[in-house]
Amino acid sequence: MRFIPLTALLLGGCLALPAAASDAQDWLRRLSDASQHQSYHGTFVYERNGSFSTHSIWHQVGKDSVVRDRLLQLDGPSHETFLVNGRTECVVGALADQVSDAQAWPSRELNVDELAKFYDMRVIGESRVAGHNAVVLGLMPRDQHRYGVELHLDRETGVPLKSLLLNDKGQMLERFQFTQFDAANGADAEVLQPSGDCKPVKRVESTPLDAKAWRSDWLPPGFVLTSTSQRVSPLSKEPVASLLYDDGLARFSVFLEPLDGAVANDARSQLGPTVAVSRRLVTDAGDVMVTVVGEIPLGTAERVALSVRPGEAKPQP
């Protein structure tokens, strides 16, 4: 299951006093290990911008170490996602033609030592979620360029049973919470198969991006360039460059599309924790639309968008 990045500025419902940061790091290592080795299934609610949805999930780690995930939306529009080793294989619903590898739910191995440089990690209490005892972790950002995380981890398995994402004003941006959770029994083989309506994902072929094509003159501390690619836009048919940055927990992407004379205005928007900032960049080769998309504060995304320049894009130290 995808780890949903979330925040911990308001820490309600906690029963214990803060513990050592080393304890929190140990629990984060358990979380990372659980995503690769622990099977479970259950029902969870997801909330963003006051909108709720309910989902069932089956997460199965096979004897062959292959990780399979099946996700069903139980209310609203019919939606199903089936993944193998974090790679989306098929979907049901309007997103069938929009899913790409970058939008999959990869199980991520957390580098706890690196995260500690940019998040203050603490065990901040205990709670009970879906009938299971949980340890509550707080990951407080050390600067204004990322959100903090409140995680309620199942004491027995280390699986996150609840997570909250809040902005710097204490407003909740996103909530994920199990209402029913079972790690004792494996799912039936037929339950882990996608339905007949699940449409295979149409992969968009990518080509290597010239390493000297683009750079960012400013990045929030801790974010490093982890991948680059170039794909042809299905709408404009123009090659769109993509740069992915990551701090080990949060991510954002920078997309660069030649305008080729098209009219496009600068724009900014936010839906829950996800922001999108677009600006026109004038270059010797023609105007380019720079778009930053990710789960980072709006001001941070705007500063990144303003810093993009033609030139070598190097991984940051």
In sign, the C-alpha dihedral spanning 217, 221, 223, 224 is positive
Enumerate residues 6+ apart whose C-beta is below 8 A from 272. 48, 49, 165, 173, 174
Where do runs of H (alpha helix) occur along the chain? 21-37, 112-115, 298-307
Cα separation of 136 and 151, whole Å? 6
Compare 97 and 266 and report the one with higher pLDDT.
266
Q: What is the mean pLDDT of residues 74-83?
A: 89
pLDDT for 108 equals 58
pLDDT for 312 equals 60
In which residue are the tokens 């706890």 written?
112
Burial class of residue 93 (count of CB atoms within 10 Å of its CB; 0-12, 13-18, 19+): middle
Taking alpha carbons only, the member of 228, 249, 253, 98 closest to residue 165 is 249
Cα separation of 270 and 128, whole Å? 32
Q: Which structural domains are found in the chain, ordered by start?
A: 21-200 (2.50.20.10), 206-310 (3.30.200.100)
Enumerate residues 6+ apart whose C-beta is below 8 A from 84. 66, 67, 68
DSSP one-letter code for 208: P
pLDDT per residue over 113-137, tens digit each? 899 999 999 999 999 999 999 999 9
Q: What is the mean pLDDT of residues 146-164?
A: 93
In sign, the C-alpha dihedral spanning 183, 185, 189, 193 is negative
pLDDT for 164 equals 92
* Res. 94 pLDDT band, cuts 50 70 90: low
Where do runs of H (alpha helix) occur along 59-191? 112-115
Q: What angle do CA 80, 82, 87 make, to 5 degrees?
A: 135
Mean per-residue pLDDT over the chain, rounded: 83
pLDDT per residue over 212-228, tens digit each? 788 899 999 999 998 88
Q: What is the mean pLDDT of residues 100-121?
A: 68
Burial class of residue 52 (count of CB atoms within 10 Å of its CB; 0-12, 13-18, 19+): exposed
* Res. 187 pLDDT band, cuts 50 70 90: low
* Res. 103 pLDDT band, cuts 50 70 90: very low
Reported pTM: 0.83
pLDDT for 135 equals 96
* Res. 66 pLDDT band, cuts 50 70 90: confident
Compare 258 and 101 and report the one with higher pLDDT.
258
